[in-house]
Structure 1
Amino acid sequence: MQKRWTLKKYQPNKEQQLQAALKIHPLLCRLLVQRGITKFEEARHFFRPSLEDLHDPWAMKDMDKAISRLEEAFFRHEKILIYGDYDVDGTTAVATVYGFLKGIYDNIEFYIPHRYREGYGVSYQGIDYAKDNDFSLVIALDCGIKSIAHIAYAREAGIDFIICDHHLPDAELPDAVAILNPKQADCPYPYKELSGCGIGFKLISALAQKKGVPMQDVYCYLDLVATSIAADIVPMTGENRILAYHGVKQVNETPSAGIRALIQLSNLKEKLTTSNLVFVIAPRVNAAGRMDDARKAVNLFIEKDFDKAYAFAEMLHGDNLERKGIDMNITQEAVSIIQNDIALHTRKSTVLFQPHWHKGVVGIVASRLIDKYYYRPTIILTQSNDKVAGSARSVSGFNVYEAIHQCKDLLENYGGHFYAAGMTLKPENVAAFQQRFEDVVAATIHPDMLIPEIVIDTEINLSDLTPSFYNIMRQFEPLGPENLRPVFLARNLTDTGYSKIVKEEHLKLSVKQSNSTAFSGIGFFMADKFDIVTSKKPFDMVFTLEENEWNGNISLQLKAIDILPSR
């Protein structure tokens, strides 16, 4: 798949000023400036995140109302229901708030809606459960900000809601006793990008202050907060960076029984990073809701006994293995459909429908098709009872939600955001929807958007890549949106004669640049670049830098992203 390389702009004056203050490699200063860090004090906060720099939870709009309503419930011994979404952010949020409240109050339960029977967010079924079981207060986590009708229905049943949500509010808000969401236009809270679990963490922080509970009883949930931040792809800036930094530290030093069980089952031996949380821990947690019931994920997180937690972790591990098999089969089916239909080859979008595909993995399949096969806006549809349901994923720069909005007359329901969305429609409208969506995409997408973009932080010489350079760069962790792993471009590389193809599809590299020492590298699924590397002509390479350990020896290794002949 052809890719386009985009080099970020440099700001030499700011880089020089920062370099004068920090006395570190100029290119490290360039990376910091690109991340919005231009002063010594900002760099200090970046490299040494402190829990003391967290904002006062009471600065969040309605926090006083939320705590007041909770204390009223404690005094009256009301039944409280902790309600959350079925993904990683929702289940970690429920486990965090439930776990803390359970330590100071007994009359409490949790509720996770079933993905297929109830769908996303606050459900009427969930409210009926609260009504039938005499719950008078519900704390909704990672959902609720758009549930106007549902909250009104709960009000009529005498049930109050405290909403802790981080999704963008509409102009009209639900009639809840308190809404904790920094994205409200009139909320003065300084940091707007918390995860749903992060907002739950703020709620228990304020409650701990109010009741004189030691903050350590709140900080013990930081491993769950860090997992939510990593998995929900929120910006790794400000408070999120502080929470994730200390949460990842806890994951490595004193993880909860549930996290420890997942680490053990995953055979992770190295020190964990946010990348491990995203690609190893999160899929197992998400698999519970995708394949079955996400309640087991909460049970895993709140379980104190390791052996019992391990049993829950095994269930999640099994769900994930099943998910991977189904996901792989559907992806192969989807690729086969496109390959065998010439009309689909030249389309600007992919919209595929098979009634037997598993609803829990259609979003993953859409992402996989874009990443590995056909880089274009993609929708995967399946049959769900008498309706067709699907997930959409987009490519960089293209608003897939707006494209779907232009097909709204063919849809029963839809929702989402710029890069991902979901929809339901009648089976008889599928063909018309496929054509309309294609027409909209073809008319509005820029041709460049159909070529994957690699955003490069800076050009670099291999001679700059020293252990001391890497040791400082490693302190950029935790990594995530707005603080991604640095991507480098090295020009005019040559093969040392030792590069080779391994396992038929990967490229094992040995390269140098003018008079530099040789560097080893790996290019996964890049065997097709072997001829460029071994042509005896210079080539350019985009890569990230990592450590490689082999037989007890640790060395720097280039992880190739793309390779082109030098111009």
Structure 2
Amino acid sequence: MHEEPKQWIVKEDPPDATMSVGRLPSILLKLLGQRGVSGRDAIESFLNPRLKDLSDPYQLPHMEQAVERIFEAVDRGEKVLVYGDYDVDGVTSVALMRTVLEAYGVDVNIYIPKRGEEGYGLSEAAIENLLKDFGKPDLVITVDCGTASLDEIAQLGEIGVDVIVVDHHELSARGCPDCVAVVNPKLGDAFHYLCAAGVVFKLAHALLKRRRVKGFDLRDYIDMVAVATVADIVPLVEENRLLVRHGLKRLPHTENAGLQALQQVAGLSGSVTSMDVGFRIGPRINAAGRMDRPEDALSLLVEKDYDAARCLADMLDEYNRQRQTHEKQIRDEAMRMVEEQCDAKNDPVIVLGSRNWHPGVVGIVASRLMRQFYKPTFVVSIDEEGVGKGSGRSVEGVSLVGAIQACPDDLIAGGGHDMAAGLSIREEKISDFRKHFAEYVVETTSPEQRAPRMHVDAEIDFDELSLEFMDSYDLLQPFGSQNPQPVFMSRDVWLTEAPRHLKNNHLKLFLRQGICEHDAIFFGGGERSLPDPPWDVAFTIDRNTFRGRTSLQMVIQDVRAAQKI
């Protein structure tokens, strides 16, 4: 498949990139400046975040009301039900909320809706099922959902059930739900970056500040919060960065049997990075929800016995393989549809739908198509009634929320974020939506904005790449949203021998710049038609440990014929 060449955009040096701070390399100061971090105190706080710098949890909206109502339930011995979402953030939030409540002696029931049958968030079907399964609770605590569930929360209120919402999603245009408390940063002016597990962590901190529990240390659960924060792709800034940095350090030594087992199944030993969470741990937890078995992921995270946890981790691993099989089938069929139905070079958007596709993996396929073709993409799974559920992924400068709002007559419902969104649509409306979505993109962007591009953080020479440089570079971690892994470029690079083809169309490259040589991996590079050397190469760097030997590895992002400066 032909891939459009990317425009390389090299970021400018920040104003104080040449300042001196300790022994930090100048290129590291440049990378910090690009992230808005400058000045000695800010740099020290960014590179060495401390748990004691966590802010007062009572700064969050409605925290006081939530704490008072929970302790009322504790003291009265009330029945409490925790209701959560089926993704990583939702399941970890449920696990942490349940653990904290049980530490106070609360009788806790759990309800996580089935993606296929009940959909996201509170729904009439889910309320009917939970009342049937558990009877009427005194208090429902929703985590990672509930902010926009005004009607459903009113329905619970009518039968005498109190509700506390612990969430991080946007408010409905109709306002805030009428309930005991909505502990959601979006109601205030700070902490908007927190995922749901981060908000639950804050609620737990507030409870423990008011009433300690002997033998319960909230720091033991930072690893779980870190997994949720990375997997939910929320900004790794301020307290998120602090929680993830310390949580990743804790993961290799975690006391959580489920996280121990997951790391074993994922082939992790030793240090764990945000990439490991994003590509190895998170997908296995998510796979349970995608296969409509979120309760298995929850069971894993609250299991105390390692052998039982290992059985559950193996089960999640199998779900993940099933998810990968579904994904490959959909991706292959979607690629054929792009070739047969679309002008991949000129069409401004991709919108595909099929009755053969599993709804749990359309978002992953949309993401892959978006990256390959650099176009805003929706992939829709259509059920037997002709109703489609779609997931969208966007490119820089195109708001999917704006697109959804611009096409109200084509959709049943839709919402989400600028870069990732979901929608419901009738099968017969997909063609109209594709047309109107394309019109919206053309009207709101220029051809230059729609052209594939790649941002390069800094130019670096091969002789600067060393394990000593990696030691300083690692202080920038964890990488993720709003702190992306830096992309470097080097000019006038030659091959020392022919590329070695690996499985899955990956390439092993042996590169030389001047007299310095480095090996590199180019994932999917075997599908590319590479120019004749010399090259300019764009790449990220990682540590690679093989047979006890650690080296710096370049991971190629793009290659172009060398350009004169």
Q: TM-score, normalised by structure 1?
A: 0.93
Q: Residues 526-565 of structure 1 correspond to what in structure 2 (within 5 A)?
A: 526-527=525-526, 532=531, 535=532, 537-565=533-561
Change (3 A) 1:529 1:369: closer
Deviation at 1:343, TM superposition (A): 5.6
The verdict on how the C-alpha distance between 1:381 and 1:44 changes in structure 2, with shifts beyond 3 A counting, is same
Distance in 1 separating the partners of 2:186 and 2:461:
43
Aligned to 1:383: 382
1:222 is matched with 222
Per the alignment, residue 45 of structure 1 pairs with: 45
- 1:55-107 CA distance string (max 9 Å, x none): 11122221111111011111221100111111100000000010121122241
Structure 2: distance between partners of 1:550 and 1:221: 31
The residue number in structure 1 matching 2:9 is 6
Q: How far has the Cα of 1:110 moved from its partner?
A: 1.1
Q: Helix, strand or coil: the match of 1:480?
A: coil
Q: Does 1:500 align with 2:499?
A: yes
Aligned to 2:162: 160
Unpaired runs of 5+ residues, structure 1, are none
Secondary structure of the residue that 1:543 maps to in structure 2?
strand
Find the counterpart in structure 2 of residue 60 from structure 1: 60
1:23, CA displacement in angstroms?
3.2
Compute the displacement of 1:538 (Å).
2.9
What is the alpha-carbon distance in structure 2 between the residues aligned to residue 339 and residue 527 of structure 1?
20
The residue matched to 2:117 in structure 1 has which SS?
coil
Distance 1:474 1:216 in 2: 32
Counterpart residue number, 1:272: 272
Partner Cα distance (2:239, 2:493) in 1 = 40
Instruction: Letter of the 1:561 partner, please give it.
Output: Q
1:174 and 2:177 are equivalent in the alignment: yes
Determine if contact 1:542/1:560 at 8 Å carries over to the other structure: yes
Aligned to 1:520: 519
Deviating beyond 4 angstroms after TM superposition, the runs of 4 or more aligned structure 1 residues are 129-132, 342-345, 528-531
Shift of 1:270: 4.6
Query: What does 1:279-298 correspond to in 2, within 5 Å?
Result: 279-298=279-298
In 1: Cα distance, 2:220 partner to 2:105 partner: 18
Q: Which moved more, 1:447-456 or 1:354-363?
A: 447-456
SS of the aligned residue for 2:116 comes to: coil
Q: Which residue of 1 aligns with 2:209?
A: 209
Describe the superposition over 1:339-360 as per-residue Cα deviations: whole angstroms up to 9, x where unpaired.
Answer: 2336666422211121121111
**Gap runs ≥5 in structure 2:** none
Secondary structure at 1:117 match in 2 = helix
RMSD: 2.0
Q: 1:342 and 1:153, CA in 2 relative to 1: closer, same or farther beyond 3 A?
A: closer
CA contact 2:168–2:199 (8 Å) conserved in 1: yes
1:22 is paired with a residue of what secondary structure?
coil
Distance 1:234 1:392 in 2: 17
Partner residue, 2:447? 447
Taking the aligned partners of 1:207 and 1:451, their CA distance within structure 2 comes to 50
Distance 2:483 2:238 in 1: 11
For residues 42-61 of structure 1, the C-alpha deviation after alignment (integer angstroms, 9 at most, x for no partner) is: 22222222110111112222
Q: Which amino acid aligns with 1:7?
A: V
In structure 1, what residue type is equivalent to 2:231? A
Alpha-carbon deviation of 1:231?
A: 0.3
* SS across alignment from 2:213: coil
Query: What is the aligned residue count?
Result: 555
Q: Which amino acid aligns with 1:542?
A: A
Q: Distance in 2 between matches of 1:143 and 1:324?
A: 27
> Which residue does 1:304 correspond to in 2?
304
Q: How does 1:47-446 map onto structure 2 within 5 Å?
A: 47-129=47-129, 131-132=131-132, 133-170=135-172, 172-184=175-187, 187=188, 190-213=190-213, 217-341=217-341, 346-372=346-372, 374-386=373-385, 387-446=387-446
Q: CA deviation at 1:510?
A: 2.4
Structure 1's 200 and 344: CA in aligned 2 closer, same or farther, altered over 3 A? same
Task: Report the residue type matching 2:554 in the other structure.
Answer: L
Seq. identity, %: 36
Q: Which residue in 1 is equivalent to 2:28?
A: 28
The answer as to whether partners of 1:81 and 1:130 remain within 8 angstroms in 2 is no
Q: Which amino acid aligns with 2:211?
A: K
Per-residue CA deviation, residues 235-269 of structure 1 (Å, 9 max, x unaligned), is: 11110111111111111112411111111112223
Deviation of 1:151 (Å): 1.2
Indicate conservation of the 8 Å contact 2:111/2:130, yes or no.
no
Aligned in 2, Cα 1:414/1:191: closer, same or farther, shift over 3 Å? closer
Task: Answer whether contact 1:80 1:108 (CA < 8 A) is retained.
Answer: yes
Alpha-carbon separation, structure 2, partners of 1:298 and 1:420: 25
Q: Would the aligned equivalents of 1:151 and 1:175 in 2 still touch at CA under 8 Å?
A: yes
The alpha carbon displacement at 1:126 in A equals: 3.4
Give the CA deviation at 1:382. 2.2
Distance 1:77 1:129, change over 3 A: farther
Report deviation, 1:234.
Answer: 0.8
Question: 1:555–1:519: structure 2 CA closer, same or farther, 3 Å change rule?
Answer: same
Q: Which letter does structure 1 place at the counterpart of 2:561?
A: P
Task: Name whichever of 214-223 and 323-332 sits farther off.
Answer: 214-223
Aligned equivalents of 2:315, 2:213: Cα separation in 1: 34
For residue 359 of structure 1, give the secondary structure of its aligned residue in structure 2.
coil
More displaced stretch, 221-230 vs 540-549:
540-549
Q: CA deviation at 1:173?
A: 0.4
Of 332-341 and 299-308, the range deviating more from structure 2: 332-341
Amino acid at match of 2:34: Q
Structure 1 pair 432–114 and aligned structure 2 pair: CA distance change class (3 A): same
Give the conservation status (yes or no) of the 8 Å contact 1:205–1:215: no
Q: How far does the alpha carbon of each residue in 1:460-488 deviate from its partner, in whole angstroms, 9 at most, with x for none? A: 12222232211110122211112121211
Alignment partners' CA distance in 2, 1:25 and 1:116: 51
Q: Which amino acid aligns with 2:520?
A: G
Code of the residue aligned with 2:170 in structure 1: it is L
Residue deviations 1:137-160 (CA, integer Å, cap 9, x gap) = 111111111111111111111111
Code of the residue aligned with 1:521 in structure 2: it is A
CA distance in 1, matches of 2:127, 2:527: 56
With 382-391 and 324-333 compared, the bigger mean Cα shift is at 382-391
Structure 1 residue 302, shift from structure 2 partner = 0.7
